[in-house]
Amino acid sequence: MLSATPSGPNCKNPTLVTANDFFFSGLNLPSNTSNILGAGFTPVGINQVPGLNTLGISVARVDLTPNGAFPPHIHPRATEIVTVLEGSLQVGFVTSNPANKHFTKTLQKGDVFVTPIGLVHYAYNVGKGNTAALVAWNSHDFGGVTLLPKAIFGANPDISSDYLARTFFLDKKIVEELQAKF
């Protein structure tokens, strides 16, 4: 969807707005986890619910198969609050430089965890069954998301492998193999 103005998509004509513009159905159903990371995601943001435009909140259902993982990522414009619906879930975030302090918890059903805006965080299903959780962000489209492995090793076009090798202390050959995987 194209943002036509600096403050977001144009508004719908108010006389045409209905209750359906504030409604979404289906978060009781598991998200599709048929991918290499075993991680499913059903977003409920401005693209699904037009009435959220400018309102500064969105939710999503996330599902993880056993050993499923969301890669380390950042929401540059939103704080995240996750509530586990079923299964168990290791979550954590890392504070900014120079502390790089790692806060982590293994959550069970009914547990809640907060990740402050802009920090590297992750989620990993360390249990034996599937995990489902409801996540909320204070942005109308979860504030964008930067998946770090992909942004770093899967950028398009590639970031220089010399540079990545130098700053990740990896062999250039390993960097190039990584880039080929993304």
Site for a copy of itself in 47-106 (CB under 8 A): 49, 51-59, 67, 69-74, 76-77, 79-81, 83, 85, 90, 92-94, 96-97, 99-105
Q: Which helix (H) or strand (E) holds 91?
A: strand 89-94
- State whether the Cα torsion 124-126-130-133 is positive or negative: negative
The H or E element spanning position 165 is helix 161-168
Nearer to a copy of itself, 63 or 145 (CB): 145
8 belongs to the binding site for a copy of itself (CB under 8 A): yes
Site for a copy of itself (CB under 8 A): which residue of 31, 120, 172, 176? 120
The yes or no reply on residue 32 touching a copy of itself (CB under 8 A) is no
What is the smallest separation between the CB atom of 137 and a copy of itself, expressed in angstroms? 7
Residues in the chain, overall count = 182
Torsion sign across C-alpha atoms 70, 137, 45, 60: positive
Among 35, 47, 129, 144, binds a copy of itself (CB under 8 A): 144
CB of 161 to a copy of itself, least distance (A): 12
The answer to whether 179 contacts a copy of itself (rule: CB under 8 A) is no
Say whether residue 34 binds a copy of itself (CB under 8 A).
no
Contacts (Cβ under 8 Å, ≥6 apart) of 16? none
| Count of residues that interact with a copy of itself, criterion CB under 8 A | 108
Q: Please, are residues 73 and 152 in contact by the beta-carbon 8 Å criterion?
A: no
Q: How far apart are CA 110 and CA 92, in angstroms?
A: 17
